[in-house]
Chain A
Amino acid sequence: MPQSRDTDESTSAADRALLVDLLYGELGEPEVAHAEERLGGDEELQGEFAAFGRIREMMSALPDEEPPTAISAKLLHAAAQQAASTASGPVASVSAGRREESDEPSGLWAWLTGLFRPLVMYPGLAAATSLVLVAGVAGAFYVSGRVEPAQSPMVSSEPAFLESGESKAAAPSAPSNDPEASAAQPSGAALQQQSGDGFADEAPEPVSGADSDAPDDTTGGMSDRRAESRPAESRRPESGREDSDDSRRRARIDGLEGDVGSLEGAYKSGFGGSAGGKASTPASTPPARSAGPRSRKRPSKKSGRSSRSGNKPASKSIDIGLEEARLAPVPDRSVSDQEAPNAEPEAAEEDEAGAEADEQAPAEKGKKSPRRTRGASQTDKKDSASPATARQSRLRSLHDEAKDAARANNCSSVRSIGGEIEKLDRVYYRERFLRDKALSRCFGKKR
């Protein structure tokens, strides 16, 4: 039985194959006759054959769809490219829409065209390349240009600082210091004119610009301050003009502080202080960083007061203002200006006393000490050849003073001096003064 089943199945399969061949006309004539004979003897096969025939009829009724013509255009273009590349050389990969390569040049030009061909073929790549090139060139210019501009501001700012610092230093120090300096310095003469005191003997530190303007009331704060401080300092030099290094140093510091304070006040008042008025005010700007409690480093508010601490943060503005004052006429001096020099002598006194008022507000100091020995600090600065040189020498001298104060464990003085140095040259202050190991112990203390 199984054998007959298999036979039936194979016969059926053969019949089916025959049916399909017959249906699609793939039988030879002898095979066709056999197939027709087979069909005649089997109704089922006949029915199936007929059904398949109907299927074919239905399929023939299906319409064919037309492909879009755009595809043909693309394909023909691609074929043309391929044919051209084949004719010219090795077969190149081609796709619809690629450019023709039949006219490819040779030599250097060919190399160049081949180099830039991807950019032409891919606009996006070309755009990105352009951006990179532009950014690279701009960056190169930027970097190269950065060097020069970076230097100039520093250079330009330093003289201003120096000048202002010097002026500040000059004012307090002049009285107590070299008369020769004053003679050499036009500022000394200016102060003289303004104050009428013995400031001529205490020529301010080399800040020629400010000094020169002082007599004409054009320096604004600077000369005025100097004038302010001078009277106060004149007293100081008289009293503190000692031959000892310490007193001289202190006087110088005091003078600096007072000068700063006076300058600050002058700046605040619009450099309107009059020289004369200044002269009458003995109290110079209380160096908030008076020798004793010189807390210049402490960020202080910018006030017309002389307080050193107030000068510190406002040092820059004061310097700028001083610079302007130096150039502009000073109409009148305000009370604040007058108070400023007063503060410095007071601070100087405190320094001498070694009080811890340094830690206090500058205003307080300003009120305390009547006068400061600016002269000493002023006279220290003898170099009037150039403001920069004078400022540098001033910085060095202040630095030395600070070291001396540190050795004497007078950290308040150290800090006050530091404030002055910072006003003169912030970079120096940060890079050298603060990093001086001899002074490090003072900066570690709480102000």
Chain B
Amino acid sequence: MLREEADEALMIRYQQGEVRAFEILLERHRRPVFNFILRFVGSRELAEDLLQDTFLRVIRGAANYKQKAKFTTWLYTIARNLCVDQSRRKKHRRHASLDQPMSKSDEGGTLLDVIPGNEMLSDRKAVSHQLHQTIHRAINSLPDEQREVFLMREFLNMPFKQIAEIVEMPENTVKSRMRYALEKLRLELDEYKDMAKALP
């Protein structure tokens, strides 16, 4: 079964012409890659474009793929590089999105808040939305080098060693960046810890 094969084996299969192998790879990784990109660039529209670009590069590079490195390392290297390039092109990483705060000063104000809804939001949902907004804002406040490490480790569960390969930095440097990211987030989110505890 193709679905049970490893990413590297699927990539080899696709390299040999099996499109189904690539389809499985796409099913496995399109969502986490998308969320990584989305949380990095902060814009859904941009994230969609970068997601497509990422996998197109995978397709184009399939012929030259060698199994000496993990597929995810290669995949997220591509995604990360695209995100970094995008971040450098734009001065302002933050783009208006529905669950992003409209302004830094407005802690609770988001596009969701101003869009009239058909039903009253429950307290739970309201708290949840607020928490999510806060978390996103906190992540966006991180420097790029800390954010990418944090996102890879926290959301992709990628080892520091692999992260070091992706960002092309020593592992200790990666761990330090991670530590700094956690400390910054701790300062940003410490006041919401009780709120987070209240949510299931």
Contact = CB atoms under 8 A, between A and B. Distances in A.
Interface band, chain A = 35 or more
B143 interface: no
Interface in B145-172: 153-155, 159-160, 172
B52 A86 contact: no
Nearest to A58: B196
Interface stretch (A32-40, A73-81, A310-318): A73-81
Contact of A58 (B19, B135, B172, B183): B135
B63 A91 contact: yes
Interface stretch (B23-31, B76-84, B85-93, B110-118): B23-31
Interface in B16-59: 17-19, 22-23, 26, 30-32, 34-35, 38, 44, 47-48, 51-52, 55-56, 59
A399 to B, nearest CB: 81
A66 to B, nearest CB: 7
A17 B175 contact: yes
B103 interface: no
Given A16-B176, A20-B175, A58-B192, A86 B19 contact: no
Given A59-B154, A79-B22, A67 B182 contact: no
A177 interface: no
**Most chain A CB within a 10 A radius of its CB, from B23, B153, B182:** B182
Interface in A40-72: 48, 51-52, 54-59, 61-68, 71-72
Nearest to B18: A83
A440 interface: no
A141 interface: no
A75 B59 contact: yes
Interface in B186-200: 186, 189-190, 192-193, 196, 199
A26 B59 contact: no
B15 to A, nearest CB: 8
B52 A74 contact: yes
Nearest to B15: A86
A67 B17 contact: no
Given A17-B175, A75-B56, 17 more contacts: A13-B176, A16-B175, A16-B176, A26-B160, A54-B193, A58-B135, A61-B132, A61-B199, A62-B135, A64-B31, A65-B38, A72-B26, A79-B59, A80-B19, A82-B59, A84-B17, A86-B62
6 cross-chain pairs, A with B, having the tightest CB-CB distances, nearest first: A67-B34, A91-B63, A79-B22, A51-B186, A16-B179, A58-B196
